[in-house]
Amino acid sequence: MEKCFWERDQRVPRGPGGPPHCSRLMRPLAYALATFFGCGYSPVGPGTVGSLAALLIAMAIDNRGIIVLLSILLLGPAIWAAGKVAEYESRKDPQIVVIDEVLGQWITLAGASTLSWKSFLAALLFFRLFDIWKPWPVRQLEGLPSGIGIVADDLMAGLYGALAIFVLDRFRFF
C-alpha cells in the first residue's frame, strides 16, 4: 500500500503496508480522476466518450484561456491518477483511463481562434484521428514510464490537432 503524502513522519504508527485510511481516500480519487468521473467505464469507445465529455465542458466554459489553464492545472493530477490506476489494474495503459483524452481534447481546442460548432467538431475529429493514428512521436511517447507515458501521447496528439485547426483557421474554415 502507498504512503499518504501528508504522513511523511516515520514515527506515525502504521498497520501492515501503511495507513489504511490513505488507500481508502487515494484509490477512489485516482479512479474518479483517471476515468474522468466514470466516462472511462463506457462499454463502447471510452476514449471518445472522454473526448465528448471534454468538449461538453469546453462548450460550457466557452473560453480558450480557461480551457488551457484547466489543462495545465490538471496535468500533474492526471499523470498521478493515470499511473496509479495503471498500477492498480496491472496494465500499462488501461482502457478505462480517459483523463489523457480529456487533456488532449482541450489542447486541440486551443488551436481554434474562435469556439463554434465547426471548431468543436473539427477538434473532435482531429484529436481522435491523431490519437488513433499515432504519428511520430505520439506512439513513441507511450513508451515513457507510468502515467507520464499514458498522458504524454495524448498531449502530443492534441498538439497535432491544435496545429491542424490553427492551419484551417488561417484559411477561414471556421
Range of the domain at 35: 20-170
Is 45 inside a domain boundary?
Answer: yes
Is 57 inside a domain boundary?
Answer: yes
Select from 145, 143, 58 the least CA-distant residue to 101: 58
The Cα–Cα gap between 172 and 174 comes to 5
Say how many domains are in the chain: 1
Share of the chain above pLDDT 70, in %: 86
Quickly list DSSP for 84-117.
HHHHHHT-SS-TT--HHHHHHHHHHHTT-SS-SH
The Cα–Cα gap between 82 and 35 comes to 9
Which three cell numbers mark 141?
511517447
Is 4 inside a domain boundary?
Answer: no
pLDDT in tens, 76-101: 999 999 999 999 999 999 999 999 99
The Cα–Cα gap between 125 and 116 comes to 14
* Residue 23 identity: S
Is 102 inside a domain boundary?
Answer: yes
pLDDT over 70 at 14, yes or no: no
* Residue 8 parent element (H or E): none
Is 59 inside a domain boundary?
Answer: yes
User: Which of 20-24, 122-126, 140-144, 169-173 is least confident?
Assistant: 20-24
Residues 170/112, Cβ–Cβ less than 8 Å: no
The Cα–Cα gap between 158 and 166 comes to 12
The Cα–Cα gap between 108 and 123 comes to 6
Is 121 inside a domain boundary?
Answer: yes
Share of the chain above pLDDT 90, in %: 79
Is 8 inside a domain boundary?
Answer: no
How confident is residue 50, by pLDDT bands cut at 50, 70 and 90? very high
Is 64 inside a domain boundary?
Answer: yes
The CB-side HSE value for 108 (13 A sphere, CA atoms) comes to: 33
